């Protein structure tokens, strides 16, 4: 199996949790800074060492998942090292937060590239492998778990780039689940909240600050996210596909997508002037957009 962005934070927790349950893990990480600059082989190697010291099997990979050939290399690493591929967790990401009026095209493109293109490229090459095994008569029971965000499915000020990428990943998840079902592949996503170097403050979510007391449950610990991801990567989740799950601490909910709300219909074309009465009435009857808690 593969976890991208697994050198630190939530991805690291995923890799360790999967290994604890017996998975053979490709630990992919560029070792870059939060904004995507720089690189280091250290973080991925450290996670591999931890897994191996506990008796598990893991290999480090430093390819860029947003690079077309790099993504294929990650997939090939799993196949050549462990003889196959059953699970891909698309977790890699960066942040370049900026208000829209100040955001540059580079800040937009870099975030979209890592999150959205990276998720696409990894899933595309994995899907290609599963399609070929299916054509060869083999039965797949494979999983893709993507990483969306409340910033994308609910919205957060200062993150038009990040939010757009994460909303795209949520939609990508739903469509990919429909396309890949024929090959024995489920596709789901999580929208996690945890305190990592990418989320230095979650005060806007109302969760306060990290509790360092060793005997207290820390709702912001990245490790809280991983059991759901491991379950979604298991055979027990076979019937669940095309869904997005919010998770923070011990809280899990199913994020429900766009639904058509109040409506009006007639058998003729509307005139623009008529809509001054129609549209405000429809909006007044509709539920407001959800906050960052999905409420």
Q: What is the pLDDT of residue 250?
A: 95
* Rounded percentage of the chain residues whose pLDDT exceeds 90: 85
pLDDT at site 197:
56
Locate all alpha helices (DSSP H) within 56-159, ordered by sequence.
68-82, 105-112, 118-135, 150
State the Cα–Cα distance between residues 65 and 72, nearest whole angstrom. Answer: 8
CA 228 distance to own-chain centroid:
13
Report how far residue 67's alpha carbon sits from residue 73's, in angstroms, rounded to the nearest whole number.
Answer: 10
Position with higher pLDDT, 4 vs 212: 4
And the tokens for 204? 């806007």
Residue 196: is its pLDDT beyond 70? no
Find the range with the poorest average confidence among 164-178, 205-219, 265-279, 280-294.
205-219
The residues carrying an active-site annotation are 149, 162, 166
Tell me phi and psi for residue 14, to 5 degrees.
-60, -50
Residue 151 banded pLDDT, cuts 50, 70, 90? very high
Question: CA dist 114 to 50, 120, 132, 146, 172, Å?
Answer: 26, 10, 26, 13, 15
230 pLDDT more than 90: yes
Residue 2: alpha-carbon gap to chain centroid: 13
Complete domains list, the chain, with CATH: 2-255 (3.40.50.720)
| CA 89 – CA 75 distance, rounded (Å) | 11
Given a cut of 70, whether residue 219 has pLDDT beyond it is yes
**Dist. CA 17–CA 267, nearest whole Å:** 57
Q: Which of 56-60, 166-170, 226-230, 286-290 has the lowest mean pLDDT?
A: 286-290
User: Can you give the pTM of this predicted structure?
Assistant: 0.90
Token pair recorded at residue 186: 């489920």
With a cut of 60, say whether residue 76 has pLDDT above it: yes
Residue 210, pLDDT score:
52
Residue 167: the pLDDT is 97
Whether 19 shows a pLDDT value over 60: the answer reads: yes
Q: Say if residue 131's pLDDT is above 90.
A: yes
Q: What is the sign of the dihedral through the CA atoms of 236, 240, 244 and 245?
A: negative
């Amino acid at each position: 199996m593969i976890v991208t962005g697994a050198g630190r934070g939530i991805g690291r927790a995923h890799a360790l949790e999967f290994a604890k349950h017996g998975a053979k893990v490709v630990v992919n990480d560029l070792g870059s800074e939060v904004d995507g600059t720089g690189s280091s082989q250290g973080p991925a190697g450290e996670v591999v060492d931890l897994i191996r010291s506990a008796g598990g099997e893991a290999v480090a990979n430093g390819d860029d998942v947003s690079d077309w050939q790099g993504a294929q290399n990650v997939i090939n690493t799993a196949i050549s090292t462990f003889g196959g591929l059953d699970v891909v967790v698309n977790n890699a990401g960066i942040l370049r937060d900026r208000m829209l009026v100040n955001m540059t095209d580079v800040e937009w493109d870099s975030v979209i590239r890592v999150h959205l293109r990276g998720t696409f490229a990894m899933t595309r090459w994995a899907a290609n492998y599963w399609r070929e095994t299916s054509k060869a008569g083999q039965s797949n029971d494979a999983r893709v778990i993507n990483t969306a965000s409340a910033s994308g499915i609910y919205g957060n000020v200062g993150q038009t780039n990040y939010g757009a990428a994460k909303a795209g990943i949520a939609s990508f998840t739903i469509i990919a689940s429909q396309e890949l079902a024929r090959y024995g592949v489920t596709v789901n996503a999580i929208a996690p909240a945890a305190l990592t170097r990418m989320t230095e403050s979650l005060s806007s979510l109302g969760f306060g600050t990290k509790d360092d007391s060793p005997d207290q449950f820390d709702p912001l610990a990245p490790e809280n996210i991983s059991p759901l991801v491991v379950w979604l990567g298991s055979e027990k989740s076979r019937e669940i596909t095309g869904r997005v799950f919010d998770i923070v601490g011990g809280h899990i909910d199913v994020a429900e997508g766009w639904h058509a709300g109040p409506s009006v219909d007639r058998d003729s074309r509307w005139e623009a002037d008529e809509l001054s009465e129609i549209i405000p009435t429809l909006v007044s009857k509709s539920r407001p957009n959800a906050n960052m808690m999905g409420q």
